[in-house]
A and B are shown apart, each in its own frame.
Chain A
Amino acid sequence: MLIDTVIFLPLATAIVLLAIPRTAHNALKGVALAGAVATFALSLAFINLGTSVAADQNVPWIQTLWTAAYHVRVDGVRLFFILLTTLVAAVSIWGAFSYDQPERLRGYLCLLLAFETTLLGVFTAADLLLFYIYWDLMLIPVFLLLTGFSGTAEARRAAWSYLIYNGAGGLVLLLGIVALVAHTHTFEPAATLSLPARTAWWIFAAFALAFAIKTPLFPFHAWMPPTYTFAPAPVVALVSGVQSKAGLFGLLAFALPLFPQAAHAWAPVLLILATAGILYGALAAIGEQDVKTLVGFSSLSHLGLVWLALFAFDMTSVPAGILMIVSHGLIAAALFLLLGFIEERTGTRDLARFGGLAWQAPRLAVFLLIAAMAALGLPGLSGFAGEFLILIGSWQTQPVFTALALVAIVLASVYMLKLFQGTMHGPQRLGQAAPSVRDLRPRELALVAPLLAGIVFLGVWPAWLNDRTPSQVTAAAAVTRVGGVPDSPHAAHTASAARKAAAGLQMQTARRADGMVAEAGS
Chain B
Amino acid sequence: MMTDTFAQTAPFTILFLPLLGMLVIAVVGPRVHRAASAAIANLAVLGAFALTVALALDVWHRPPSDQVLTVTYPPAWAAHQQFWAHIPPLTVSFELRIDGLSLAWMLIVTGVGFLIHLYSVGYMLDSRWYRTFFAYMNLFIFAMLLLVMAGNFLWLLVGWGGVGLASYLLIGFDMHRPAAVAAARKALIMNVIGDVGIMLAMFLLFAHFGSLSYKEIFANVTAAGTPALNWIGIWLLLGAVAKSAQLPLHTWLPDAMEGPTPVSALIHAATMVTAGVYLVARAHPIYDHAPAAAQAVAVVGCATAFFAATIGCVQYDIKRVLAYSTMSQIGYMVLAVGVGAYAAGTFHFITHAFFKALLFMAAGIIIHNLGGEQDIRNMGGLARRLPFAFWAFLVGTLALCGVFPFSGFFSKDAILDQLLVLHHPVLWAFGTATAALTAYYMFRLLFMTFFTGGFRGKAQTHAGTVASMSVPVALLIGLALVGGWIVVPGHDGLTPLLRAAFADTGTMAALDHFSGIVSLAALGAGLVGFVAAYLLYERPSGLRPTLRRSLQPVRNLLANAYYVDATYHWLFEVPVLTLASDIARYLDPEAVAGGAAAVARTATAAGDAVRLWEAGYVRRYGLSMLVGVVIVLALFLYLAGGTAALGGR
Contact = CB atoms under 8 A, between A and B. Distances in A.
**Binding partners A and B:** yes
A497 B223 contact: yes
A292 to B, nearest CB: 13
A320 B638 contact: no
Contacts of B206: 392, 395-396, 490
Contacts, number: 213
Contact of A283 (B90, B207, B576, B643): B576
B176 A400 contact: no
A238 to B, nearest CB: 23
A406 B161 CA distance: 16
A385 B209 contact: no
Given A392-B203, A425-B181, A410 B219 contact: no
A26 B192 CA distance: 47
Contact of A287 (B154, B176, B584, B592): B584
Interface in B198-229: 199-200, 202-203, 206-211, 216, 219-220, 222-225, 228
Contact of B83 (A221, A376, A395, A461): A461
Interface string B72-89: 000000000011111111
Contacts of A463: 82-86
A373 B165 contact: yes
Interface stretch (B37-45, B276-284, B627-635): B627-635
B89 A421 contact: no
A414 B638 CA distance: 27
A147 B461 CA distance: 65
A191 B584 CA distance: 45
B85 A424 contact: no
Interface in B618-649: 630-631, 634-635, 637-638, 641-643, 646, 648-649
Contacts of B649: 399, 493, 496
Interface in A270-328: 271-272, 275-276, 280, 283-289, 293, 297, 315-316, 319-320
A402 interface: yes
B528 interface: no
Interface in B126-142: 132
B642 A409 contact: no
Given A395-B207, A427-B176, A490-B210, A284 B90 contact: no
Interface in A345-376: 356, 358-359, 362, 373, 376
A427 B179 CA distance: 11
Contacts of B593: 222, 225
Nearest to B634: A272
A385 B85 contact: yes
A501 interface: yes
Given A406-B196, A413-B192, A283 B583 contact: yes
A500 to B, nearest CB: 5
A34 to B, nearest CB: 29
Most buried by A among B90, B161, B195: B90
A400 B638 contact: yes
Contact of A500 (B189, B223, B634): B223
A405 B268 CA distance: 30
A417 interface: yes
Contact of A271 (B162, B223, B638): B638
A406 to B, nearest CB: 5
B580 A283 contact: yes
A285 B195 CA distance: 21
A471 B220 contact: no
Interface in B470-505: none
B193 interface: yes
A463 B208 CA distance: 22
A151 interface: no
Chain B binding surface SS class = helix
B571 interface: no
A359 B181 CA distance: 14
Contacts of B577: 286-287
Interface string A477-512: 000000000001011011011101100000000000
A501 B222 contact: yes
Contacts of A225: 588-589, 593
A356 B176 CA distance: 6
A425 B592 CA distance: 33
A157 to B, nearest CB: 11
B63 interface: no
Given A271-B638, A463-B82, A500 B225 contact: yes
B160 interface: yes
B86 A413 contact: no
Contact of A413 (B157, B189, B202): B189
A315 B88 contact: yes
B208 A493 contact: yes
Contacts of B641: 400
A289 B584 CA distance: 9
Nearest to B129: A362
Interface string B577-595: 1011111110011001101
A277 B648 CA distance: 23
A426 B175 contact: yes
Interface string A197-212: 0000000000000000
A289 B577 CA distance: 12
B172 interface: yes
A193 interface: no
B630 A276 contact: yes
A108 to B, nearest CB: 28
B581 A379 contact: no
B158 interface: yes
B634 A288 contact: no
Closest 7 CB pairs of A and B: A287-B584, A379-B161, A287-B580, A286-B580, A287-B581, A463-B86, A399-B648
22 contacts: A219-B595, A272-B631, A272-B634, A284-B588, A315-B89, A316-B89, A377-B192, A378-B165, A388-B154, A388-B199, A395-B206, A400-B642, A406-B196, A410-B189, A424-B175, A461-B83, A462-B85, A466-B87, A467-B86, A497-B223, A501-B220, A501-B222
Given A359-B176, A490-B90, 5 more contacts: A225-B593, A286-B576, A287-B577, A389-B90, A463-B86
